[in-house]
Amino acid sequence: MAGGRSRAPRRAAFAALVTLLFLACVFFFLSATTITSAVPNSPASRLAAVRRHAEDHAAVLAAYAAHARRLSSDSASQTESFLSTSSRLSALSSRLSVSTVALLEKEARGHVKRARALAAGAKEAFDTQSKILKLSDTVFAVGQQLLRARRDGQLNSRIAAVSTPKSLHCLAMRLMESLLANASAAPDVDPAVPPPELTDPSLYHYAIFSDNILAVSVVVASAARAASEPSRHVFHVVTAPMYLPSFRVWFARRPPPLGSHVQLLAASDFPFLNASYSPVLRQIEAGNRDVALRELDYLRFYLPEMFPALERVVLLEDDVVVQRDLAELWRVDLGGRVNGALDTCFGGFRRYGKYLNFSEPAVRERFSPSACAWSYGVNVFDLQAWRRDQCTEHFHQLMDMVT
């Protein structure tokens, strides 16, 4: 009995020790989880996010302000709003530090909200692309109705029903008169013989596909100002033929800064882009409206044919504001791959399964639903690897499957 009593305290002590070890382990795991989950919301990460938003919106409003100065005196108050909000955002960005992030985060949120509201309100006044797009949609619809009427033999009886609305006709005339007046006053920025830097593979070449003049000018200006050698940066802007004269007028009056170069092109400038070669053009001519509205997006798949003398091109979206020198992208080793881009998927987000119809056998055979999609904001393309792997030919095969 005495031996049993002497062992009881030892058991109790051992049980207490095990309990303490268990509680210590639980506390350690809970602490690690708390620290890990707090990292994304740490002051440093919040500071970086606030600074990025402030600088981006300041750049956008500064661009709108520069455009507003050239308009009539009616825009004076709006110009002042752009400049004041942009300067506040810039000043706030310079004051940011980890110690003040909690106080300035609320102030930055208010300025960013005002910047977004100003930019949204200015879009209708400054960016005529939306008006031109509405006119283009109406012209396309009228053309389709005329084709159907001609096929049905009812052209004479139905032509009155498909006439262009008077308001849009007046808009078209005003836009055309303004365009002709500006074009006659501005010099041509695209000579018949392109300068040698446009085809020099030793320079840094960018491709931008867009109809938005103001957005493209922001991309070009920000990239040039962030570059250590701006004169070595060449921007190839591809737009629809109807927007090309406007682009030429804009860049003739506002040349790219610091000696950088801009080449303005339309789809019609590439002779190989015809219905006999491109299924994209065949579908547009056949009346596929979805393809027609996204023609510039599809033209990205012809980069090697558009720029046969180049070896590497960086594709930029028109919503990018560049804040660092992009020259390093030409020194990135792609390891023989065609494309280098930012991986933006996590978990089930941005996987191929979200975008492609895997009920189609042709899709199941060629793609994996778990493959990661990528951001189109900034892409590096090795055009030599593209030609080697015949990526455009594979694109044609997929487009031919579209009915």
Task: Look at the chain and count its residues.
Answer: 403
What's residue 278's pLDDT? 93
Q: What is the DSSP letter of 32?
A: H
pLDDT digits (tens, 9 = 90+) for 307-345: 999 999 999 999 899 999 999 999 999 999 999 988 777
Residue 217: which pLDDT band, with cuts at 50, 70 and 90? very high
* Domain-embedded: residue 15: no
Lowest mean pLDDT among 98-107, 251-260, 310-319, 323-332: 98-107
Whether 73 has a pLDDT exceeding 60, the answer reads no
Q: Which residue do the tokens 């491709």 mark?
A: 207
* Domain-embedded: residue 19: no
What's residue 261's pLDDT? 96
Residue 205: which pLDDT band, with cuts at 50, 70 and 90? very high
| Same domain assignment for residues 98 and 171 | no
- Per-residue pLDDT averaged across 338-359, rounded? 81
Residue-wise over 115-138: b if at least 16 C-beta within 10 A, else e?
Answer: beebbeebeeebbbbeebeebbeb
* Domain-embedded: residue 213: yes
| Same domain assignment for residues 134 and 223 | no
Q: Which residue do the tokens 């009920």 mark?
A: 359
| Same domain assignment for residues 255 and 382 | yes
| Same domain assignment for residues 215 and 79 | no
Whether 164 has a pLDDT exceeding 50, the answer reads no
Burial (CB < 10 A; 0-12, 13-18, 19+), residue 371, is: exposed
* Domain-embedded: residue 8: no
* Domain-embedded: residue 25: no
Instruction: Give the span between the Cα atoms of 64 and 71, in whole angstroms.
Output: 11
| Same domain assignment for residues 274 and 222 | yes
Residue 180: which pLDDT band, with cuts at 50, 70 and 90? very low
- Per-residue pLDDT averaged across 145-157, rounded? 53
| Same domain assignment for residues 77 and 111 | yes
| Same domain assignment for residues 147 and 265 | no
Number of domains the chain contains: 2
Q: Which residue do the tokens 């498909």 mark?
A: 162
Residue 377 contacts residue 320 (beta carbons within 8 Å):
yes
3-state secondary structure of 101: helix
- pTM comes to 0.59
| Same domain assignment for residues 153 and 180 | no
Mean pLDDT of the chain: 75
What's residue 183's pLDDT? 44
75 closest CA partner among 131, 129, 126: 126
Instruction: Give the span between the Cα atoms of 93 and 148, in whole angstroms.
Output: 58
| Same domain assignment for residues 297 and 228 | yes
Q: Which residue do the tokens 């074009």 mark?
A: 183
| Same domain assignment for residues 145 and 207 | no
Instruction: Give the span between the Cα atoms of 79 and 8, in whole angstroms.
Output: 86
| Same domain assignment for residues 241 and 277 | yes
pLDDT above 90 coverage of the chain, percent = 33
* Selected residue with higher pLDDT from 156 and 109: 109
| Same domain assignment for residues 229 and 266 | yes
What's residue 345's pLDDT? 76
Q: Which domain holds residue 268?
A: 166-185+195-342+377-401
What's residue 104's pLDDT? 65
